[in-house]
Amino acid sequence: MEITQFSMEEILDPTNIIEGKRYEFILDIEIDEEDELFHEAGIEIRVLIGEKADEPYILNYFIMEKAEGEYLDFALEDDELEGILVFCKEEITKS
């Protein structure tokens, strides 16, 4: 699994109910043809990141098939989630 493109947006809380910061990442993922997640049109992963005390963590994620925009009912493996979190942390630090 390789991240080929991404977008990042900070989610603002005008009510100040949510503690810490929130970010939404949309990750375009390149998947090996042998993987069960492989779809011809491609895969996106929408990741919601929380940040407290300057420590980002994954709140939730959704895997989507790009052509139809359908959510796929798959769970990522721990090492894949760790790789995504490392990537997101780096991008948050850059911003």
Task: Decide if 84 contacts 27 (C-beta within 8 A).
Answer: yes
Cα 58 to Cα 47: distance, rounded to the nearest angstrom: 7
pLDDT in tens, 29-77: 988 888 777 778 889 999 999 998 889 999 999 999 988 888 988 899 9
The reported pLDDT for the residue numbered 69 is: 84
Count of domains observed in the chain: 1
pLDDT in tens, 60-73: 999 999 888 889 88
Check: pTM over 0.85? Answer yes or no. Answer: yes
Cα 56 to Cα 88: distance, rounded to the nearest angstrom: 8
Domain encompassing residue 58? 2-94
